[in-house]
Chain A
């Protein structure tokens, strides 16, 4: 059952659990710069929102990539990066309407949500606030 991420920004508490869980799931360490989900926070006004790829049906990043380094993974629908083809130009990031593509400063490559293979860690740690949830492909957006 393929899923897509759904972001409900107004429900975000700014706790960064998603960032921590994502980083650890992918890098086995806690490093915000390794996470594929980041948050924008304005703590003064308690404003916060997760920034993450939501697997757009018609993904502007795919169209923007000049080298064909981005592709949609057949099983999950996540956008995959071929780091050999990727030149690190950053056009995919610029094209993303959700600011959901991040940057790995070490590899100089984009970091895009891979849906953790189908069971996203960020969703698991956002159980109460549900700022990041999933929907099953083909079903209505639950938000």
Chain B
């Protein structure tokens, strides 16, 4: 039986084919909780400074969470930790589905892949052990076929994580895909996996059992947490209509990026309505709501197109980010084209977000006359053109012609194209393109994106509370700032550091526990107290809410140390040039819709001060590391008991 107070790591050396299992030192569970936290420590120890993300020195870590496999709400998340292929900096990405609890039930909290195989392999894990098997016949196959093939190899509970052709071909924003449609996306964990010639990992948890330290207390904590989620305003909406529920509403609010972030509105209200998740029910696209393991919310969708040019397209999703990236960001409002592109990206194992941003950047760069026909392979990349978008996705996956230009992300593409094209890239200071937030009227998000350790997006710090859009968000803002009425609002500059740090901490806790951040941020059902009750009863390691949040901060700081060692500084804590130099159109000038350097500096100064980081370098000071107990943790290779 797997028990949450004992964590184990399975190391797989893909160069030699050897495996070994280690027990995690209990002190690490107390300090870093599990999941993302301990994976950060393993990565810090194993990947040397300057390592090539696509070389054998890089390490790929799949981590469950301290509560994975239990009935804690939404405890279906898996973290993937590595050095990012697109960014060359720290990468934590996470995925839903059913892989994580299945892996944990088998007694492995961490899968650590080192080295690289010289031929395609997949790893099969069940109660009888771990086997590395030949994957020659799977290499080149899509995610769907790979998953389907491996799923038939054991009981009816096999779960598969795999890469598609994008990861095999070294597209630097390739995903690892789990349970068919759940992506560990952004920054190219799939490319790292491909560089190791690791096609897939399949786990068969049949016959396994997961226990908790204090069943009675745990049941109480689970029931309480579930009730809070069921009562949450946004949780209800996420269930009913998914993350893309209100594209039309956000569009009207001028906060739905369009035309490569040049605008925050697309002048097609009917198209925006059709893109909205609410419309997918009457329009017949929504076939099923999908829940990751143990999730009361089930925000994920499963959609299908029944007629027209994309008849038969079906896939998990799309989520809001997908709708924007492959929709208005590229000037497209044909929802059925979004469904088709989403299906392709999922099957190729491509990050929808950077795929959309790359195409959008190409469209703008073409429009501005910086791209000659000689580099476009006959494609005419005009806004919203379906033929061009479909062709570009195909070329990116194959790294063919213009697709090869885009397959390293827009930072690298702009270097090759030159001129002012770098200004139209949507990456911050770490090489990752931003997600569908209008940062000029969402200052917490602007700060969160800037300081995000993996690059500028919302998926390590979801600060939606800043808008005060639900009663739960207002309550959170009250707790963080002491005065929600005063500090709610996307244009308010004060208290942004406090908002970001609280969300960072709780997000890190969520990832370490293996529960979805949609229960702790966005929907705010599980607060620190509830998380502490779940963790303590589940693991038997008794931590207060304060101690738990401090562990979250320790994780965030440890991740920062990885980047510090790589030489990153305050200069890398940025948001795209466009957000800092072009005033947002169509917005009341009273709201001052631009993030000036001055504004960003103000927020960064406050943020570093709050963390106890050095204001010049933006990096943790020795005193701060000591206060968090990280000096010892970083200097000792004390991962294992």
Judge whether A21 and B71 touch: CB under 8 Å.
yes
**Chain A, Cβ-Cβ closest to B287:** A46
CA distance A127 to B525 in the complex (A): 15
Asked if B549 is at the interface of the complex by the 8 Å CB criterion, the answer is: no
Chain A's closest residue to B205 (CB) is A32
A30/B210 contact (C-beta < 8 A), A20-B71, A21-B71 known: yes
Closest chain B CB from A19 CB (angstroms): 9
- With a 10 A CB-CB cut-off, give which of A10, A17, A33, A48 has the most chain B CB atoms: A17
Contact present for A15 and B291 (CB under 8 Å): yes
Residue from the set B105, B293, B314 with the largest chain A CB neighbour count within 10 Å: B293
**A46, B239: Cβ atoms closer than 8 Å:** no
DSSP majority for the A interface?
Answer: mixed
**Do the beta carbons of A29 and B288 come within 8 Å of each other?**
no
Q: Is the CB of A128 within 8 A of B288?
A: no
Given A43-B180, A46-B302, answer yes or no on A29-B1 (Cβ-Cβ < 8 Å): yes
**Interface residues of chain B: helix, strand, loop or mixed (majority):** loop
Residues of B near A21 (CB, < 8 A) are: 71
Q: Are A29 and B210 in contact (CB under 8 A)?
A: yes
Q: Which residues in B have their C-beta under 8 angstroms from that of A47? A: 288
Contact with A along B123-152 (1 / 0, CB 8 A): 000000000000000000000100110000
Chain A 16-27 per-residue mask, 1 if CB under 8 angstroms from chain B, else 0: 110011001000
Query: Are B70 and A15 in touch, CB under 8 angstroms?
Result: no
Query: Whole-angstrom distance between the alpha carbons of A6 and B277 in the complex?
Result: 28
Q: Is B290 within 8 A of A30, CB to CB? A: no
Q: Which of B71, B219, B230 contacts A128 (CB 8 A)?
A: B230
CB-defined contacts of B69 to chain A, threshold 8 Å: 30
Q: What bracket does the count of chain B residues touching chain A fall in?
A: 35 or more
Q: Which residues of B contact A16 (CB under 8 A)?
A: 98, 291, 293-294
B236 lies within 8 A of chain A by Cβ: yes
| Residue on B nearest A46 in the bound complex, by CB | B302
Please tell me if the beta carbons of B71 and A46 are within 8 angstroms of each other in the complex: no
Interface residue B215 (Cβ < 8 Å from any Cβ of A): yes
Using A33-B207, A44-B144 as known contacts, say yes or no to A20 and B294 having CB atoms under 8 A apart: yes
Is A137 close to B, CB under 8 A?
Answer: no
- How far is A40 from B210 in the complex, measured between Cα atoms in Å? 21
- From residue 32 to 69 of chain A, which have CB atoms closer than 8 A to chain B? 32-34, 40, 43-48
Give the CA-CA distance A48 to B207 in the complex, in Å.
Answer: 21
When chains A and B are docked, how far (Å) is the Cα of A40 from the Cα of B271?
A: 37
Q: Is the Cβ of A46 less than 8 Å from the Cβ of B290?
A: yes
Partner of B295, one of A15, A40, A124: A15
Q: Who on chain A is nearest to B3 by CB?
A: A29
- Chain B residues, Cβ within 8 Å of A127: 226, 230, 296
Kindly list chain A residues whose C-beta atoms are within 8 Å of the C-beta of B236.
Answer: 128
Which of A13, A47, A48 has the largest number of chain B CB atoms within 10 A? A13
Whether A85 sits at the interface, judged by CB under 8 Å, is: no
Chain A residues with CB below 8 A from B181, complex form: 43
Please state if B144 and A129 are interface contacts (CB–CB under 8 Å): no
How far is A128 from B289 in the complex, measured between Cα atoms in Å?
11
Residue B209, interface by CB 8 Å: yes
A125 within 8 A of B: yes
Give CA–CA (A85, B582) in the complex, Å.
Answer: 79
| A14 interfacial contact with B, CB 8 Å | yes
Q: From known contacts A17-B71, A30-B69, A33-B207, infer whether A44 and B293 are also in contact, taking CB-CB under 8 Å.
A: no
Question: Is B615 interfacial (CB-CB < 8 Å)?
Answer: no
Q: In the complex the two chains form, what is the Cα distance from A24 to B290 in whole Å?
A: 23
Is B500 an interface residue when CB atoms closer than 8 A count as contact?
no
Which residues of chain A are within 8 angstroms of B210 by Cβ–Cβ distance?
29-31
Residues of chain B touching chain A, judged by Cβ–Cβ distance below 8 Å, are 1, 69-71, 76, 97-98, 105, 144, 147-148, 156-157, 179-181, 205-212, 215, 219, 223, 226, 230, 235-236, 239, 287-298, 302, 314, 316
Q: List 7 A-B contacts (CB under 8 A).
A: A15-B291, A15-B296, A15-B298, A30-B70, A30-B105, A44-B148, A127-B230
What are the 9 tightest A-B residue pairs by CB atom distance, in nearest-first order? A15-B291, A13-B291, A46-B302, A13-B298, A20-B71, A31-B209, A46-B288, A30-B210, A128-B239
Beyond known contacts A30-B211, A43-B181, A128-B296: 13 more, CB 8 A cutoff = A15-B291, A15-B293, A15-B298, A17-B294, A24-B219, A30-B71, A30-B105, A30-B212, A34-B209, A44-B144, A45-B314, A46-B316, A128-B298
